[in-house]
Structure 1
Amino acid sequence: MASTITTTRTAPSAAKSRRRRRLRSLTRRDRFVIAAMLLVPLLLDLAFIWFPALATVLLSFTRWNGVGGLHTSACVPNVPSILDNGCLFGVQNYHQAATIYPEFWPAVRHNLVWLAVFILFATPLGMLFAVVIDRGIKNSRMYQSILFLPVMLSLALIGIIWEFMYSQNYGLINTVIGRTSNSNAIDWLGNPHLNLWAVLVEATWRQAGYVMVLYLAGLKAVDPSLREAALIDGANQWQTFWRVVFPVLKPINIVILVVTVIESLRAFDLVYITNKGINGLELLSVLVTSNIVGETQRVGFGSALGVVLLVISLVPISIFLYNTFRREDAP
């Protein structure tokens, strides 16, 4: 009995001594390499992510126009312009965005429409593609490659491709429906009542392929015995998917929901290529760019819009992280 206790007590100390020997065996060069591998990504992360994010938050409380230094003196009262250089004046940028900036609420509404289309059309369409391909249809690899091709293309290139489709005079859509003359041609991208929906078709074409790949990865991970048990119990294909397979895909559904929200908020390329986000295509991301690097260069005001976009984006990210850590902590 005493020998057993002695062996049990000496085992941890022996493991610690072996660990110390391994640490002591690291040369100065090894330690330098380890430090470099840790510090270089950390510094890059701080320089390109955290510092710009914190700088944006700080600049959102200023009237800085991008030229000259920032001043901490109080603002001149009754100055309606938001172009005054470097004046720290609290939350007035946010107040002006919500009250007197005419493009703000249309941009919020368009982002919500973008999100609704992604959830109601792009996501179910991508799920349908994934389910059909997962059943092992003939030439499934070819269909998968074709449907995933838009994801591999840049959004700028997608916008250019669809410009040829929507062109008022020589576009494919107007040619197919017989609207090629100047009198009856449909201006898909210039009409403020149509251009948002036209651009959403482009975005859905790309988003559906992205969602398809995510769902395919989830379907491949489903235990085949679950489907076999459901079929033995008499369930058809529809019931097997919605009552057995789909609940198992809950982690994938959360990921897709977060990705969908983020993609709808950061939509920029397609609308900026179409008409620079004006005339019915206002989005929050485009307003941020137009105010910071546009003709007026209202850096402080544009930073406030960027902070609004950041706060909205943090909501689904926080929900995703909460569910992830709660699942890992569950016994």
Structure 2
Amino acid sequence: MTTVQDARSAPPSARTGTGRGRRRSRRLTSHDRITLTLMGGVPTLLTVGLVWLPALLSVALSFSSWPGIGGVSSIHWVGLENYRNIFTEYPQFPPAIEHNLLWLAVFFLLPAPFGLFLAVQLDKQIRFSRLYQSVLFLPVVLSLALIGFMTELIFSPTQGLINNLTGDTHQGNMIDWLGDPHLNIWAVLVMACWRQTGYVMILYLAGLKSVDPSLKEAAALDGANGWQAFQHVVWPALRSINVVVLVITVIESLRAFDIVYIINRGTDGLELLSVLVTDNIIGEASRIGFGSALATILLVISLAFIVPYLITIFRKDERE
């Protein structure tokens, strides 16, 4: 009763304070909604306008023949002719597909698990861990074009570091690491993996920092060793990071261009789909429709790896 009487005897400003607070909170909420809409809407519009719309237009152009000049009137519909020519009359296409798939397989087998291993070790708070993180992440800061120049310095047959260390340069039996079509792809992959490992390491290290330490402590109290705790506690908690690593690995392996173009313009054993797309769209013989068909094939290959995995992950999340 006292509370009711106090409330009744309180001045109007005190009784209406709650109402004003509610109105003020409503105004803040509306501002927050506007802010969130702008923060989410502007990047979405930019992504749609600069990424998805050009991608869809490229898919449409893949069914046409266009030299790139003369405007829209010079675009001629050819149907599936570009794809038919790619699979039957384009000798550079089979080795490019083979090299891209090899690049993807190597990235899954080497940088991904090795980057996870390094992240697990650095997460143990070993001495000088910050220094190790900086050194291992340093290659990621370098562009692929610079990695290509470094590849030439290391694997050059006459002045390269490897041939000079082994003495092959002075003995006259030099190994042509970059000129031999059976060796140059592996030399380039070594340097590409060196850069990719640091990228994967940082991603997994960020994921490991977000794992609740109490889960690890509970697993240790239950008698689990380090591997069992990682397998049953840490690894399931890294599911979202695994999705990111999968997408990054597929994208990085299929968009590889700079490093091989610097070495020999993507020829003589270093053919890649990205190089073929560039040569046909902005090369001497501009065939935008044909290059768009190659780009569409590259898009389909990337989606073939990413979409099924994402569907599986989302289904597991819904079940849980």
Post-superposition offset of 1:324: 6.2
2:95 paired residue number: 106
1:180 alignment partner, SS class: helix
Query: Which residue in the other structure is 2:70 paired with?
Result: 68
Tell me the secondary structure at the aligned position of residue 68 of structure 1: coil
- Give the residue type in structure 2 aligned to 1:104: F
Which residues in structure 2 correspond to 1:1-331 (within 5 Å)?
18=23, 22=27, 41=43, 44-71=46-73, 86-181=75-170, 183-319=172-308, 321-322=310-311, 326=315
Report the Cα distance in structure 2 between the residues aligned to 1:35 and 1:128, rounded to whole angstroms. Answer: 40
Structure 1: runs of 5+ lacking an equivalent: 1-13, 72-84
Judging by fraction of residues, say which structure has more helix. 2
Is contact 1:115-1:261 (8 Å) kept?
Answer: yes
Give CA-to-partner distance per residue, 1:194-238, whole Å, 9 cap, x none. 010000001100110011011111111222223223323333323
1:217-260 Cα offsets, whole Å, 9 max, x none, are 11112222232233233333233323432233222222212211
Give the drift of 1:34.
Answer: 9.7
CA distance in 2 between partners of 1:195 and 1:295 (Å): 26
Tell me the secondary structure at the aligned position of residue 136 of structure 1.
coil
Taking the aligned partners of 1:319 and 1:20, their CA distance within structure 2 comes to 44
The answer to whether the Cα contact below 8 Å between 1:291 and 1:299 also exists between their aligned partners in 2 is: yes
Measured on the aligned residues, the alpha-carbon RMSD in Å equals: 3.1
Q: After superposition, give the CA deviation of every residue in 1:175-204 in whole Å (9 maximum; x if it has no partner).
A: 111112483111111110001000000110
TM-score by length of 1: 0.80
CA distance in 1, matches of 2:159, 2:146: 19
Q: Which amino acid aligns with 2:177?
A: W
Q: 1:112 to 1:34 in 2, by over 3 A?
A: closer
Give, as a single letter, the amino acid of the residue that structure 2 aligns with 1:134. Answer: D
Q: Residue 109 of structure 1: CA displacement?
A: 0.9
* CA deviation vs aligned residue, 1:276-310 (integer Å, no higher than 9, x gap): 11111111111100111111111110010001111
In 2 relative to 1, CA 233–315 (structure 1 residues): closer, same or farther, beyond 3 Å? same
Aligned partner of residue 256 in structure 1, secondary structure: helix
Worse overlay, 131-140 or 243-252 = 243-252
Deviation, 1:321, is 4.8
Aligned to 1:8: none
**Maintained 8 Å contact 2:243/2:310:** no
Instruction: Calculate percent identity across the aligned residue pairs.
Output: 58
CA contact (8 A) 2:246 2:306 kept: no
Closer, same or farther: CA 94–238 of 1 in aligned 2, 3 Å? same
The answer on whether the counterparts of 1:169 and 1:182 sit within 8 Å (CA) in structure 2 is no
Relative distance call for 1:44 and 1:250 in structure 2 (3 A) is closer
Give how far 1:323 is off. 5.3
